[in-house]
Amino acid sequence: MSSDQLVIEADGGSRGNPGPSGSGAVVIDGETGKVITEISTYGGVATNNVAEYRAVIAGLNEAFRHNPNAQVTVRMDSKLVVEQMSGNWKIKHPDMQVLGIEVQKLVAGKNVTWVWIPREQNSRADALANEAMDNEVDVIRHLSNDEVPSSKSIEFNPMNPSSIRAPGDVTEPLTTVVLVRHGRTALTEAHKISGGTGDDPNLSKLGHEDAAAVAKLIAGFGTESAFGHLPKPTAVIASPMQRTRETAAHIASALGVSVETEELLREISFGDWDGHTNEEVAKLWPEVFSTWRGSWTESPPNGESLEVFDARIREARSLILEKYRGQTVVVVAHVMPIRGFITLTMDGGPAGYWRPQVAPCSLSVIRHWGEDFAELVTANFTAHL
């Protein structure tokens, strides 16, 4: 059973300040004193204080994964972090401001107490931070016999890229982008083309059911569901089209946030082909249709080429990563924008725009560390539908 009282011991260090850094956190059953989880994460080049904040974030994520309603005591030998998180000291450094905001969002509505302890009482977390700096790898050890970790979290790094082959100098904070395609519309169900400049249909009855299902899944982030190991989203942004805004409204309601819209996320324009089936387009525009398939520069009549669209999606991604830096954000969009995000993540080239399947109200998750590095967690997840 999950304990109602948890203790986190957290510490971070940097050899050079800034220099190679490591973060360590221990989650302890506050009633029995038994260690539940040990977390050791390598942070690349960073300062001591940044590493300490990362340790706190890793510990809180694990504690609330174990029990979202637990009373948590965070124990640290960093007077700075304890006083800043207690609201007694201001956070002045920009990097720590971002991390401080992330911590505050994690503890919002929770019962969390911050306690300073002497360094000698924080030896377990200190040892884990040094383990990360020595080995330059990330380790999560679940030690409780009461809980067997799922395969999705055993090799999952909550703060840094999960693969040891990833670049070791990631310095930007983690931004998690949850991509959701809109639910079904009448045009979707009729297999008709629905682009960004043609008809703007509402969700159908089945589309609203799709949206409710994905909203329930996303509401379980950080606590339960297939994505309980990922932080709960703090923002929802959508394409301005009716079908995406209606889907986003379901998700925002489940999360208790509002919906923002972004014009750059609008679906690619199919121009004169909107409202037709693929078969009709092939008959009415045979030569253009044949040339357009697989082309980077060809566009439908009065529509958008992949070359032009790709530039728009790159701009959209940059805007989102800057505006929601260090957060988890849900992006409700269309097939082509989602394929664009995945293609940029995988460095896939033009073919990335037609190879991934993106079903209505499917979910894809990409973790970003600025624009320098990205990690695909999942694509076209549909088990909730």
Residue pLDDT, tens place only, 103-137: 999 999 999 999 999 888 898 899 999 999 988 88
Give the pTM.
Answer: 0.68
- pLDDT, residue 6, reads 94
- pLDDT, residue 101, reads 93
- pLDDT, residue 151, reads 56
Number of CB atoms found within 10 A of residue 322's CB: 11
Candidates 373, 316, 332, 379; CA nearest to 352 is: 379
Under 8 Å CB-to-CB from 193, ≥6 apart: which residues? 187, 270, 273, 274, 275, 276, 277, 278, 281
Catalytic residues: 182, 267
Q: Where are the domains of the chain?
A: 5-154, 174-381
pLDDT at 146 over 80: no
Which amino acid would we find at residue 151? S
pLDDT at 180 over 90: yes
Q: What CATH fold (topology level) applies to the domain 174-381?
A: Rossmann fold (3.40.50)
- pLDDT, residue 136, reads 85
Radius of gyration of the chain (CA): 23
* 5-154 to CATH, choices 3.30.420.10, 3.30.70.100, 3.40.228.10, 2.60.40.1180: 3.30.420.10
CA 290, 267, 213, 369 dihedral sign is: positive
Percent of the chain at pLDDT above 70? Answer: 95
